[in-house]
Chain A
Amino acid sequence: MSYTEKDIRDLKRIAATLRGNLIEMIPPGKVGHLGGSSSIMDITAALYFKHMKVFDDPKNPLRDRCVFSKGHAVLAQYAAFVELGYVSHEDLHKVKTLDGTLQGHPDMDHTPGIEAVTGSLGQGLSVALGMALGLRLDGSASRVFAILGDGELAEGQIWEAAMAAAAFNADNLVAIIDQNGVQATDTVEKVLPNPRQVEKWTAFGWNAIEIDGHDMAQILEALDAAKACKGKPTAIIANTVKGKGFTFAEGKAAYHNAAMNAEEYAQAQACVEKMKEEA
């Protein structure tokens, strides 16, 4: 599928709106996963507002499924769910509170639109594989997307699932690796180096595509290529920037899960306004 300039511009605007929703959830003094949620935000926008089959009813059986295996970035999903009408702005303000519907990590029982329970890292690709196999058994055309962190790839279970998905020719499964290069305490390279992802996923029997995870056209084209690929699952290795869009936080492990002060928050709001203007 080819995309017009307007398609791309609209999605960029949506991504800017989602980043605005994101910081609504982490006002000054409130701790939240800013870095990993903003690095996956452009892909989240492309999935929910262009590529995936999405319905007003989040339980519609014809929907595509998206599982955030890197569950700490669920704020990106919540940001999208507001625009889809699954949750409200008021819900965003109550994230991680006793009377809120938005948990600190994805919980299908609390939040419409969440497909599983994830957050204990390493499990979401397997869960997504099970969904893909189940949908295929039922003759469903629905597809499943698993969002993985690059730090998360240290979990051995990811590679168990990678072998299994290839063994089962799960071509209705797409893994998207948010390769922002930074994890909770330091860079991935310093914590536990895990280079050459394209070669690794290819060796595991997947169709592997490397993209700039903030280039909307590249994101959409990779998702289309994944859909067109038959007989094997696709891994999209998306090179991203942790904290993307929030200049003071970009590339910094310190903003993996942190609170902004009032000054930073004002900067973050200004960043969102600028993104909206530029889109």
Chain B
Amino acid sequence: MSNMNMRKAYGETLLELGRENSKIVALEADLGKSTMSNMFGGAFPERYFQMGIAEADMISTAAGLALTGHIAFASTFAVFASGRPYDQIRSSVAIPRLNVKICGSSAGLSDFGDGKTHQSVDDIAIMRVLPNMKVFSPADYFETKKIVKAMAAIDGPCYIRVNRNDVPVVTAEDAPFEFGKLRRMRDGRDVVIFATGYMVYQSLEAAKLLEAEGISVKVVNVATIKPFDSEGARAEAKGMKAAVTVEEASVIGGLGSAVCEALCAGDADSRIRTLIMGIQDCFGTSAQKYDELLVEYHLTPADIAAKVREAIQ
């Protein structure tokens, strides 16, 4: 498995979209080099708006561009793309269901060096709670490309969170992205893991560890966190002894909550024990390497394997 970068996927796809559709515009808040939206800016300077370090203005301006028939991609770090301009997203964008596509870059702990102010533990939860918002969390480079294309085609507001670092490719380049659907990455008989983002890879690695112990684990990739495929989740849970959810975000209000809400509402077969893995209601911290943070926050394959064992004890 080769490592590839989701930010690069975002920048490349934005550029492709810009070539295909003159209505695509992009806005930045002085992080275009990092989000890689500057690839679009280089090709289409007249459709690229450098808004400065002013995220609130960026989001509402994107709303105005959408109101004149444009499809506005606004990108910055996930913390500054979600929490900081939350009310602008809520009022200017989500209430009127405008075609504003928000990219939360360097999401989760992936901006490892910058520490807690720059690491988004809450973006999934706060975007998920917004009516009319669609929330995406791709697992790898190829899935990012497909989701960014899908976002341009979807009518209405979207949020995508992408990882900062080169991460393993786990999806096939030619596999279609199905909006609003779960994708089973690996079959198993005992426990189902619902994972999102880079945690899909970590979960697949955990499944390998457990296989050696005779525990058969199914891994399901949740790339569309909202609208959540509740029916699909219940179907995947049926016949399993337990479920584990894994996300690089707070254990409150994110993927784990979405899975629990779905399974609770199902019949007895799908109401299985469900353990939520993620960031334990705390902020991030600086580290020299991304991997160090995943160890610190218990999001390694070994941690996931341990949680699976706990779930079926």
Chain A residues engaging chain B, CB cutoff 8 angstroms: 107-109, 115-120, 122-124, 126-135, 137-138, 140, 156-157, 160-161, 163-164, 167-168
Contact = CB atoms under 8 A, between A and B. Distances in A.
Interface residues of B, number: 30
Contacts of A134: 25, 64-70
Chain B contact residues, majority secondary structure: helix
9 contacts: A126-B59, A129-B57, A130-B62, A130-B72, A138-B69, A140-B68, A157-B57, A157-B60, A164-B57
Interface string B212-249: 00000000000000000000000000000000000000
A160 B68 contact: no
Contacts of A130: 60-68, 72
Interface of B: 25, 46-47, 49, 51-52, 54, 56-57, 59-70, 72, 87-88, 90-92, 95-97
Nearest to B70: A134
Most chain B CB atoms below 10 A, which of A124, A130, A137, A160: A130
B178 to A, nearest CB: 29
A120 B54 contact: no
Nearest to B54: A160
Most chain A CB atoms below 10 A, which of B49, B60, B87, B90: B60
A4 B96 CA distance: 41
A132 B87 CA distance: 22
Contacts of B46: 137
Contacts of A107: 95-96
Most chain B CB atoms below 10 A, which of A116, A128, A140: A116
Contact of B54 (A109, A124, A163): A163
Sort A-B residue pairs by CB-CB distance and give the 5 closest, nearest first: A130-B64, A134-B68, A126-B60, A160-B57, A160-B54
Most chain A CB atoms below 10 A, which of B47, B62, B64, B72: B64
Nearest to A157: B56
Contact of B61 (A117, A140, A156, A164): A164
A219 B87 CA distance: 33
Contacts of B56: 122-123, 126, 156-157, 160
Contacts of A109: 95-97
B60 A161 contact: yes
